Amino acid sequence: MQNSTAPSPPIRRTDYTPPPFLIDTVALEFDLVPERTLVKNTMRVHRNPDAARAPHLELFGEQLEFANAAIDGVPCSAVRLVQHGLTVENVPDSFELTISSLCKPVENTTLSGLYVSGSNFFTQCEAEGFRRITYFLDRPDVMSTYSVTLRADKAAYPVLLSNGNLLEEGDLPDGRHFARWEDPFCKPCYLFALVAGKLVCIEERVKSGSGAEKLLQVWVEPHDLGKTRHAMDSLIHSIRWDEERFGLELDLDRFMIVAVSDFNMGAMENKGLNIFNTKYVLANPETASDTDFANIEAVVGHEYFHNWTGNRVTCRDWFQLSLKEGLTVFRDEEFSADRAYGQSNGSGEAARATKRIKDVLALRQMQFAEDAGPMAHPVRPESYVEINNFYTMTVYKKGSEVVRMYQTLFGRDGFRKGMDLYFKRHDGQAVTCDDFRHAMADANGRDLAQFERWYSQAGTPRVAVKTAYDSAARSYRVTLTQGYGDAAPAARETQKGALLIPFAIGLIGKDGADLPLRLEGEASAASGTTRVLEFTETDQTFTFVDVAEKPLPSLLRNFSAPVIVEFDYMADELAFLLAHDSDPFNRWEAGQRLATRELLALAGRAASGASLQLDDSIVAAFSRVLTDESLSPAFRELTLILPSEAYMADQMSESNPAAVHAARQFMRKRLATALRDEWLAVYEQHHTPGEYEATPKASGHRALKNLALSYLAELDDPAHVVSRASKQYASANNMTDRAGALLAMLNAPDSGRGNQAQEVLDDFYRRFEQEPLVIDMWFALQALRRGSAKRPVIGIVRELMAHPAFNLKNPNRASSLIFAFCMANPAQFHCEDGSGYAFWAEQVIALDSINPQVAARLARSLEMWRRFTPALREGMRTMLETVAARVKSRDVQEIVTKALA
């Protein structure tokens, strides 16, 4: 039914019309049986006075078996089953509609709708999964209150959860029992959830700001109970933070988090019953890395913050997705930054900058790439074929940057005023990105009409900077020019005009200190040494006056807008900024520019077979950072780790993964050799003895120490490095150190001791056999290996596909092996014989019939094919065509069609 082969037409934003009917209340009754679950759905329906009159009520339904229907208690025969669901003909203006239907949770491998994971039931309704549970007006602008009765076998499903408050529970005949839940808040159906099974929880009672007592629970399988503390702490911190920073209180008496190991994404903000991928809940020091701990805090925060930004105020239609996702990512980024600040005792700004750098790295590596390819779309897309394909880096991360720009323009207080007005106007409503922008504009007395272009134009803006110092006039002119360069066709058609770009700038004097800033026409220098220029024209010149000496500009401080800055710094100027910029983000940025420039030159030489050499001044600049103890270890690690191979390949005029790999490896080895003693000293200085702490400070030490180890593993004679690594591996009291040591051993050149790497891998597997999330990492580490001509990684990957612990149906496991190889090991994946592409095609086709959402994500790893060298391009195109001819899902069809267009 849903998998017809006829291409699906796109849905367009401008075709929006209000729903012809509204549903006030929904009463759901579930008889939960894995093979055949009966769902009885009783709805109070009435005609929407604000919509065009429609005689028939059309409800969506997918993969459902219709049983019967009644209107106002009378069996109804005016029901017609249609392709997308069912039509109830000639309905009255207001009525009660009851529909019963059946679904098959145990056969549902899509993980959308009602499904079984392990032996428990879970649901995932966003975006359009509710229609796989019952017939409904499955669209976010239809909001209802829900009452849910769950019935199931008591021994097999002792715990029965749904949204809101538990009203009643009790036993039924035949060993069954029931629970009745009621959610007092109106919500769209995508926020519905149920969970049933053998689960246990930790719980806490906390008082919210107004003094009300709240019950918090984290539900997991019994053997995972000891890994829930960090998630609970993260939830408590999230609740406090939203009260303090935004005055937003938890509105329910009870808030639950449930972990499930089969899940398509990170987590889901169902009202009062958040459902999480286990990866973002379970942690203890032995099994979870520092990154895992940080991700859990961020995702718990993200889902919790949705309670206001997403749930209390929701989206009118799915084109507005960034209204909730961009805003909520911004909120979780700020939450993590504030947490890092609070835990840093004294070095708060550096800790905040570290978080900012990581967020910008992710944006640039993934969102900039998306914006340059065939899937480029505005933060508020104009059309889609399958909405699941639009949970993208653009909607989430560029969306977050767009929200951040309001705060950059209006300050934290102005932003807060805008948020307050947004909730005052729209609490309980389903609204648009324009509504949010208007609240920000009105609360701050500003016209933000031009700012709308950030929502409607795709592609990454470029800002070219020209400067001129006039020593006689003591003035410094900064001319900014904006455009999109040669954007991808998908982006170009959306580009209409200049953006309002908040462009933060500082001027640095010869001594490295910031100069005072006074713009022409101003009476005196403004306070502070960073100015946010409002750059609104295609070309615009800003003149600073009273500038005593020729300054060095520090551009786009703290990455004040999601753009690419083009300015021809000299290498020694970058080294100067790296040493002196008062803006920690731009200090890091100067190092990135230096490294990127060097790597690009090296990759160019590698591509043409020329010999490689690293400039001594680069080594010197790196050496200064490595040994500068006034810099936080976390900052040093971020500066010294070279840009990723994937990012570097994107920077080339023609992506050449093999050349990038050669260049990056060469540079790593040179830095390892030239700074060997410094790396060794840093390695010894940054141990974190004593009990494990997941604080930003402790993880900074571990990050720098393990980076040192990884550089040292590049040395030709790695014997003493391997012995250090092996000692670290054996004595580690946490996963970051154990995995860091394992990685160093995997990468160290084989010093004739043969199978040592394999022995550690085997040991690692045995130690953690019972821990699926760690075994995921075990698969990933191997998919990410460097490989050699004798042993290409595709061979390792194919062997691992046959490993008894491999399971294509589990998204975490599938991605640990397949996605890691196809997306994060470019040099091996883009192997010239095309073996990587053939493997990709096989897996996309296999996943397509299991889980289209996951298949579509994997399909995206070839979308940039036109940007590669001709030899690789052909191989990719062939496999894209193979896949296009074979796959059935709308999800994958949309991706490959756009890639080939």
Residues of the shown chain interacting with ligand TRP in the complex, contacts defined by CB under 6 A: 124, 126-127, 264-265, 267-269, 302-303, 325, 388, 391
For the bound state, the minimum distance from the C-beta of residue 328 to Zn ion, rounded and expressed in Å, comes to: 5
For the bound state, the minimum distance from the C-beta of residue 321 to ligand TRP, rounded and expressed in Å, comes to: 9
Task: Decide whether 122 or 647 has the Cβ nearer to ligand TRP.
Answer: 122
Euclidean distance between CA atoms 680 and 721, whole angstroms: 9
Residues 6+ apart with CB under 8 A from 174: none
Task: Decide whether 130 or 157 has the Cβ nearer to ligand TRP.
Answer: 130
What the block records as the tokens of 568 is 């021809």
Piece in contact with Zn ion (CB under 5 A), picked from 327-335, 404-412, 475-483, 808-816: 327-335
Euclidean distance between CA atoms 437 and 379, whole angstroms: 13
Shortest-Cβ-distance residue relative to ligand TRP: 265
Which of ligand TRP, Zn ion, none has residue 321 at its interface (CB below 5 to 8 Å by kind)? none
Which of Zn ion, ligand TRP, none has residue 28 at its interface (CB below 5 to 8 Å by kind)? none
Residues in contact with Zn ion, counted by CB under 5 A, come to a total of: 2
Cα angle 657, 658, 663 (rounded to 5 degrees) comes to 95
Which of Zn ion, ligand TRP, none has residue 127 at its interface (CB below 5 to 8 Å by kind)? ligand TRP
DSSP calls for 759-812? HHHHHHHHHTTT-HHHHHHHHHHHHT----SSS-HHHHHHHHHTSTT--TTSHH
Task: Decide whether 62 or 332 has the Cβ nearer to Zn ion.
Answer: 332
Catalytic position from the list 126, 128, 269, 303: 303
Cβ–Cβ < 8 Å for 220, 200? yes
For the bound state, the minimum distance from the C-beta of residue 318 to ligand TRP, rounded and expressed in Å, comes to: 10
* DSSP helix/strand/coil, 507: strand
Neighbours of 661 (CB within 10 A): 21
Q: Are strands 254-260 and 213-220 parallel, antiparallel or unpaired?
A: parallel
DSSP calls for 63-97? S-EEEEEEETTEE---EEEETTEEEE-S--SEEEE
Closest CA to 200 of 216, 221, 182: 221
Neighbours of 362 (CB within 10 A): 13
For the bound state, the minimum distance from the C-beta of residue 516 to Zn ion, rounded and expressed in Å, comes to: 42
Which of Zn ion, ligand TRP, none has residue 110 at its interface (CB below 5 to 8 Å by kind)? none
For the bound state, the minimum distance from the C-beta of residue 390 to Zn ion, rounded and expressed in Å, comes to: 13
What the block records as the tokens of 462 is 């470029």
Which of Zn ion, ligand TRP, none has residue 426 at its interface (CB below 5 to 8 Å by kind)? none
* DSSP helix/strand/coil, 346: coil
For the bound state, the minimum distance from the C-beta of residue 360 to ligand TRP, rounded and expressed in Å, comes to: 20
Task: Decide whether 397 or 664 has the Cβ nearer to ligand TRP.
Answer: 397
Euclidean distance between CA atoms 705 and 633, whole angstroms: 9
Which of ligand TRP, Zn ion, none has residue 126 at its interface (CB below 5 to 8 Å by kind)? ligand TRP
* 303 assigned to active site: yes
Task: Decide whether 328 or 882 has the Cβ nearer to Zn ion.
Answer: 328
Q: What does residue 895 show for φ and ψ, rounded to 5 degrees?
A: -65, -50
Q: What does residue 151 show for φ and ψ, rounded to 5 degrees?
A: -125, 135
Task: Decide whether 275 or 282 has the Cβ nearer to ligand TRP.
Answer: 275
Piece in contact with Zn ion (CB under 5 A), picked from 318-326, 408-416, 542-550, 582-590: 318-326
Which of Zn ion, ligand TRP, none has residue 858 at its interface (CB below 5 to 8 Å by kind)? none
Which of ligand TRP, Zn ion, none has residue 784 at its interface (CB below 5 to 8 Å by kind)? none
* DSSP helix/strand/coil, 892: helix
Beta bridge partners of 168: 180
Task: Decide whether 393 or 501 has the Cβ nearer to ligand TRP.
Answer: 393
Binding to Zn ion (CB under 5 A) within 133-192 occurs at none
Cβ–Cβ < 8 Å for 26, 40? no
For the bound state, the minimum distance from the C-beta of residue 277 to ligand TRP, rounded and expressed in Å, comes to: 9
Which of ligand TRP, Zn ion, none has residue 267 at its interface (CB below 5 to 8 Å by kind)? ligand TRP
Task: Decide whether 859 or 864 has the Cβ nearer to ligand TRP.
Answer: 859
CA dihedral 835, 838, 844, 847 (to 10 degrees): -80
Which of ligand TRP, Zn ion, none has residue 268 at its interface (CB below 5 to 8 Å by kind)? ligand TRP
For the bound state, the minimum distance from the C-beta of residue 267 to ligand TRP, rounded and expressed in Å, comes to: 6
Which of Zn ion, ligand TRP, none has residue 863 at its interface (CB below 5 to 8 Å by kind)? none
* Site mask for Zn ion (CB under 5 A), range 275-314, x = bound: ----------------------------------------
* Site mask for Zn ion (CB under 5 A), range 527-566, x = bound: ----------------------------------------
For the bound state, the minimum distance from the C-beta of residue 319 to ligand TRP, rounded and expressed in Å, comes to: 15
Task: Decide whether 127 or 744 has the Cβ nearer to Zn ion.
Answer: 127
For the bound state, the minimum distance from the C-beta of residue 327 to ligand TRP, rounded and expressed in Å, comes to: 11
Helices (H), 149-289: 229-246
Piece in contact with Zn ion (CB under 5 A), picked from 328-336, 530-538, 698-706, 869-877: 328-336
Q: What does residue 511 show for φ and ψ, rounded to 5 degrees?
A: -85, 0
Name the residue with tokens 């001027």.
507
DSSP calls for 553-621? EEESGGG-SS-EEE----HHHHHHHHHH-SSHHHHHHHHHHHHHHHHHHHHHHHHTT------HHHHHH
Per-residue CA distances from 249 to 143, 325, 359, 567 (Å): 21, 19, 27, 45
For the bound state, the minimum distance from the C-beta of residue 34 to ligand TRP, rounded and expressed in Å, comes to: 21
Identify the sign of the CA torsion 827, 831, 832, 834.
negative
Task: Decide whether 303 or 333 has the Cβ nearer to ligand TRP.
Answer: 303
For the bound state, the minimum distance from the C-beta of residue 302 to ligand TRP, rounded and expressed in Å, comes to: 6
Neighbours of 470 (CB within 10 A): 13
Euclidean distance between CA atoms 817 and 799, whole angstroms: 11
Closest CA to 282 of 202, 337, 197, 343: 202
Euclidean distance between CA atoms 581 and 585, whole angstroms: 9
Task: Decide whether 353 or 773 has the Cβ nearer to ligand TRP.
Answer: 773
Task: Decide whether 302 or 352 has the Cβ nearer to ligand TRP.
Answer: 302
Per-residue CA distances from 77 to 68, 70, 71, 91, 103 (Å): 9, 8, 10, 12, 21
Neighbours of 435 (CB within 10 A): 18
What the block records as the tokens of 180 is 């009745």
Which of ligand TRP, Zn ion, none has residue 264 at its interface (CB below 5 to 8 Å by kind)? ligand TRP
For the bound state, the minimum distance from the C-beta of residue 264 to ligand TRP, rounded and expressed in Å, comes to: 5
Which of Zn ion, ligand TRP, none has residue 771 at its interface (CB below 5 to 8 Å by kind)? none
Task: Decide whether 144 or 307 has the Cβ nearer to ligand TRP.
Answer: 307
Residues making contact with Zn ion (CB under 5 A)? 325, 328
Give catalytic residues, as residue numbers: 303
